[in-house]
Structure 1
């Protein structure tokens, strides 16, 4: 059964906070419950969740008000038990639908090979790096998906 991808609602906050803590405990750091509450309330954010009766994934986008400004993919995560089942791809497809016609930027840890491969599969390419950006000295890779009509 494929999860439903839908906009997050206030009732999802606790589940998203827990999932974020599980997925980002040892890398770039989990966001606090206060930070997540802010993400849920901001008009320039789109938070989508993958729902299988419980939240099993999410994606967060910063969508600037001006169409010429790129969207930023801020965060995407899937519960470890559900990885490699296509949920991240469902979330990416839904995120790209929200961003139709706009360039998208993201940042990912250089050593997160699964995420880099996922992003490359959706047309993202590396545009720069931030050397030693993450704890432990890992580089951050800045990637961009440019809409073809903006070339």
Structure 2
């Protein structure tokens, strides 16, 4: 069964907090951080959820009002048991469809090759690095997507 990709609703808060904790451990966003994302949905946040009766994945976008400003892909996650099933690709495709005509930026840990491969598959290109950005001194790779690179 393919999950339904939909906009997040306030009822998703508990599922997203739990999923984030499973996916990111000590780097997970606390419930107040997730609540802040929901509080800003009407302003500049888009949260998409992959739903199979419960959230099995999500993507969070920061979408500035000015069309010339880039969209930031803040977070994407898929439940460990659902990885390599295409859900991450479905979420990316849905997120990028919402960003038509805009540039999208993201950062990924240099050692997270699975995520980087997903992003490259959608046409993201490395544009810079933040040396030693993550705990343990790992670099952050900054990647950019522009619609004309699809």
Shorter-chain TM-score: what band?
A: over 0.9
Stretches of 4+ aligned residues off by more than 3 angstroms: none
CA–CA separation in structure 2 for the residues paired with 1:148 and 1:123:
9
The residue aligned with 1:22 is 22
CA–CA separation in structure 1 for the residues paired with 2:84 and 2:39:
30
Give TM-score, length-normalised by structure 1.
0.95
Give TM-score, length-normalised by structure 2.
0.96
- For residues 93-132 of structure 1, what are the alpha-carbon distances to aligned partners after superposition, in whole Å with 9 as ceiling and x for unaligned? 0001110110000000000000000000001000000111
The residue aligned with 1:58 is 58
| Local SS of the residue matching 1:25 | helix
| Local SS of the residue matching 1:38 | helix
CA–CA separation in structure 2 for the residues paired with 1:41 and 1:100:
24
The residue aligned with 1:93 is 93
CA–CA separation in structure 1 for the residues paired with 2:146 and 2:110:
20
The offset of 1:41, in angstroms, is 1.6
Matches within 5 A, 1:2-151: 2-25=2-25, 29-42=27-40, 43-148=43-148
| Gap regions ≥5 residues in structure 1 | none
CA–CA separation in structure 2 for the residues paired with 1:47 and 1:148:
24
Equivalent residue pairs, number: 147
| Gap regions ≥5 residues in structure 2 | none
The offset of 1:147, in angstroms, is 2.8
